[in-house]
Amino acid sequence: MASEEQISAIKGAKVLMVGAGGIGCELLKTLALSGFQDIHIIDMDTIEVSNLNRQFLFRQSHVGQSKAKVARDAVLRFRPNISITPYHANVKESRFNVDFYKEFDVVLNGLDNLDARRHVNRLCLAADVPLVESGTTGFLGQVTVHLKGKTECYECQAKPAPKTYPVCTITSTPSKFVHCIVWAKDLLFAKLFGDKNLENDLNVRSSDATNLSEHSEDVFECRKGEDIEQYGRRIYDHVFGHNIEVALSNEETWKNRNKPWPIYSKDVFPDKLTKENGKTEKGSTTEDVSAMASLGLKNPQDVWSLAENSRVFYESLRLFFSKRQKEIGNLTFDKDDQLAVEFVTAAANIRASSFGIPLHSLFEAKGIAGNIVHAVATTNAIIAGLIVIEAIKVLKKDSNNYRMTYCLEHPSKKLLLMPVEPYEPNKSCYVCSETPLSLEVNTHHSKLRDFVEKIVKAKLGMNFPVIMSGASIIYEVGEDLEEDMVAIYAANLEKALSELPSPVISGTVLTVEDLQQEFSCLINIKHREEFDEEKEPDGMLLSGRVEAPVDKNSNKPIGNGESTSSALSTEEIQEGERDVEIQETSESAENVTGKKRKLSEVSKGSIPDHSGLPDESSRNQNQLEKLDVDDEDDELIISNDWESLTKKKRL
């Protein structure tokens, strides 16, 4: 039975939920059934068919509607006497500022991306409001508690960065199917359907003078009088034939590699594509904006042949130009856009055929292109329950019993739920401890735009940055700026750092702040002449952030990806939940066996022991034992003595 103190804390609490997806639906239900009376929800998404298998508050009739609003209505049907306020909006909107966050007793995150998580973390720090973070990936998940000045913040430990691939590998020497997907999605799709001014490496020019006239112009521009079939064949021949021929001309590249083979439309297409597809060239009556539907391909888990991929490539291109002409020029790849997924799958498979890489089904290709790890409804429910448990502790100010809890796929010491004590704030954290950062950059070549896009926005997660060199503002974003200032800052973006009105050179200290987040940091600039294009593609190197360590006794990092600060599982847990979107990571996540200090170690001076497992004396205390994935006797232990399971031994 809940105590009077607990009941009072729950009923009097004003709670902010961010995210109404898989975790969010479970969380809202659990909050309502636990007695919470005043709940606010922010979510910018609308309901999609793919959500229905696990986001149980939604039905087929709700597709296209606001997640936050439908979730509210669904819960009020069985808890009509509570207050639920939905916001169908982006959590980064200016109205959700520090003053807004100060209205709440606790913030509960059920987000699916790193950028939004960082934003909420900073606003909670600025408002001094407790944050309970969460994330799931398949059977894995975690819940972490963050209180300003008492525990580490969400950004105290570095999160794995998205995996990037060298441009030369993507454009010239792919060896994995993911390389073909990146090429099809980020280069070909973007060139055909995105910004027409986009520059990329697809416009390969022939060195043969006889081909100069044919390949001297932008081959991706539709020529006057050219119909869609002629255009489709020409694009096909250029990217899968001509570009491969050009690549083969560099014999040095293929000395130790298998040579690709050029593929031309005449080798795989019939003489008349429209006849083969059962359509007339004009006036098709099909209402299916899907190449698969047009071609009668029904199973997305089938692996198409080269000929089938070629037909899907042409048909999806035709449908874009005939059915979605108005969107061309502004499209970006979306994993929920069926036609886009079909085009990318077909293009990637044709390229894979050329380079001798195994082909993949549309289902597999969509997972790679959309960075999807499929969510498990049961895991979401477990994580939602753990969030509420920690929220109640926070409301009761029961800091001695706060736990960061990890849901493991394979039991360790017969535990599927592994709770550990929170860690103290990291003194090297540039967010909550205001530790200066360092940036190595070629100040003569790199423009201010590069610094803003690659560092301030991408690395530091600022949305409305103000950049100052001493007392001079060199860049600012804001709705209330005068037109002349907007023009000045726009001009500054195109200048090299050393050519700015207040030159940024080696030794300059920049102050970068985001007024909406009420967050600022210092960056020490160090000039560097050259960078390795493959290892340092940004041409800049940011340091001073805490890097996530790797377990030296293992061949792979132990971590949980982007969704928390530390880890227990020997498998990587990636951040996210909404059909969980992840990206391959190049950094490891924090190992729980590392050298951070728990709060109790700081206050009581006990000997560090971070394993958090019972019976540590039976093995090495600095390393988690390898999980036995074949153990048929694995079971969940429910214990009344969590004290002995979750606290370290003391002398």
Catalytic residue annotation: 168
To the question of whether residue 222 is assigned a binding role by annotation, the answer is no
CA quadruple 246, 252, 253, 254: dihedral sign: positive
To the question of whether residue 544 is assigned a binding role by annotation, the answer is no
To the question of whether residue 380 is assigned a binding role by annotation, the answer is no
To the question of whether residue 124 is assigned a binding role by annotation, the answer is no
To the question of whether residue 35 is assigned a binding role by annotation, the answer is no
Q: State how far the Cα of 138 lies from the Cα of 573, in Å rounded to an integer.
A: 9
Q: Find tokens 């819940």 and name the residue.
A: 143
To the question of whether residue 359 is assigned a binding role by annotation, the answer is no
To the question of whether residue 450 is assigned a binding role by annotation, the answer is no
Count of other CB atoms within 10 angstroms of residue 128: 12
Q: Provide the angle, in degrees to the nearest 10, between the axes of the packed helices 22-33 and 377-395.
A: 50
User: Residue 103 half-sphere exposure, CB side, CA atoms within 13 Å?
Assistant: 11
To the question of whether residue 153 is assigned a binding role by annotation, the answer is yes
To the question of whether residue 116 is assigned a binding role by annotation, the answer is yes
To the question of whether residue 19 is assigned a binding role by annotation, the answer is yes
Q: Find tokens 């190449």 and name the residue.
A: 291
DSSP string, 84-110: EEEE-S-TTSTTS-HHHHTT-SEEEE-
To the question of whether residue 121 is assigned a binding role by annotation, the answer is no
To the question of whether residue 54 is assigned a binding role by annotation, the answer is yes
CA quadruple 354, 356, 361, 367: dihedral sign: negative
- Residue 547's closest CA among 586, 582, 598? 586
Q: State how far the Cα of 159 lies from the Cα of 138, in Å rounded to an integer.
A: 19
To the question of whether residue 113 is assigned a binding role by annotation, the answer is yes
To the question of whether residue 432 is assigned a binding role by annotation, the answer is yes
User: 380 φ, ψ to 5°?
Assistant: -60, -40
Question: Strands 131-137 and 140-146: what pairing?
Answer: antiparallel
To the question of whether residue 22 is assigned a binding role by annotation, the answer is yes
To the question of whether residue 156 is assigned a binding role by annotation, the answer is yes
DSSP string, 282-327: S--------HHHHHT---TTS---HHHHHHHHHHHHHHHHHHSGGG
3-state secondary structure of 526: strand
To the question of whether residue 21 is assigned a binding role by annotation, the answer is yes
To the question of whether residue 13 is assigned a binding role by annotation, the answer is no
The binding site consists of 19-24, 43, 51-54, 67, 112-117, 153, 156, 429, 432
The binding site for ATP consists of 19-24, 43, 51-54, 67, 112-117
The binding site for Zn(2+) consists of 153, 156, 429, 432
